[in-house]
Structure 1
């Protein structure tokens, strides 16, 4: 078991370097100790990293509830706490104790360093800080890893474009942070904005105002997937005007590093993000020669990638807790056609499996029943 000093160091390592975890590290150490003792007593196996994973999930639940959104929305994720306990071969009673630990943490947490960091990044007006925060989740959040499509096809495209894996990975994280949308059509920024608004019901007035402002800022973000552009103007070495392949013009695009006047081409492939009424390069800019330009038809490339991702999902299956075999395609890309079923599916309640309504006398049939969190 970690000492408090050891845990503090490890907890800091597990978070973004710019995030100050001091505000609630003692709170999570207390949960860590309780979990550790329970696992030592009840688990057939032991894994320190699994305990840290559950702590990160608990922190996410306390702070923003992002993992919970996807946990309910996607059956392939399943019940995170139950799956965690099952992986350690814990008894039903021990599983109930773990569930209580997580629930108590949500109600007793004194503050949220994670939520504070996220809010500060959004409101900073600094695109690099916003990007660091949003890309952190697809890089590090293990729940999100399970709801992404097969990323090999995107990664290979970025790899062919950039010529090296490190830059390709940076562009992939930027794509997932700003352009990827879940099965409901929500980007990561939009989902966080919704969760910020939800959290305003449980915080003091000062933080409530900050969360509302951050939510509005996130909702106003507009992203353009990777495509080709032509430089048609230059304000200075960091600010250029670009014309999209389809003819749209983006004025005053801010580049992260200076662009030399003797750059060998006027053509480039980039991802753009508009934040706080300014447009930025997201990830890296890749300069193209005139011969390569026609190859990078963004619409055709993305249509091909999405088709490959969907085809791969159609041949992958998983089994739910109740034994139903489902294709990953159905889980990642479809929602029930019936509005009532779709409404409750977003709460993790599925009418094609045993659910709470079986104990309440049947389907709600138009009666909206809210299960508060």
Structure 2
């Protein structure tokens, strides 16, 4: 049996007729840039996320970058975030000239250890970027309390967490802005790049809308230096077809996660994903912590099971951030996670027999180790 980390083929076959019809309509009306499909998706995603405004942009990385710019984060400022995330989070901070300041993670949820944030706040701190990793929200109340106390901006990196909730509120309605990615692997994925920013602040929404079109308002008049970062109309058309099914797909991911928990629950060499009591996890990834992680991954590969390590090297130890002065041992929980995490195949259409095969191979590896 072969089990990929992600297989979108069955989803495509299910949606194929509607997707082709939607794309054909875009071709026929020939409105390819910021047309009705983008507007519809902006409306639907913002409403779904409990926000008033949605601004479609080129990708999730640009969503972070433009949010920082719109919130006036600039050179000399500091932004507190996690080192256990995709590079785009800290990359966006550095690209606006600000300094990423990393805190360690909670080893159970892999999200920021909120108890460590206040000690990192200085007179130069301008913002906090919590990352809702793997599909589970960070504990937001302590972050929002600190933001209020110290007059800080909170930008949710919700690239992996559309539909996730914290205390009944969805990712997207908790911060000053929130950033989504529609990369094909995401729970709501396009067939190329795409992203969106949501916010309840009309001034920020207007500013981001200007920044994404070269800083132009009105057209061809430029008062700020902007970027070319627009959600593509064709990608929006695809996402509009997919959006009505997203909550059902999330429910299926949660069912698959429960089945993995059942299959692997007695294995002492593996720590299963921990769900915070106040969170609803949408399982963008099903990530375990495993003894002999690298050997296990090689063995699973030999059995035609694809796994991925998200992430093998923490941001504070990446060569590009050497200038920040971090050293090994500074963020111990983050560094341990990088040595132990392993994401197993996870998608709504994965079959029970595939999951049973994955689990039997993991059990067999440890039995024979």
- Higher RCO (CA 8 Å, separation ≥ 6 residues): 2
Give TM-score, length-normalised by structure 2.
0.25
Q: Which of the two has greater helix per residue?
A: 1
Give TM-score, length-normalised by structure 1.
0.25
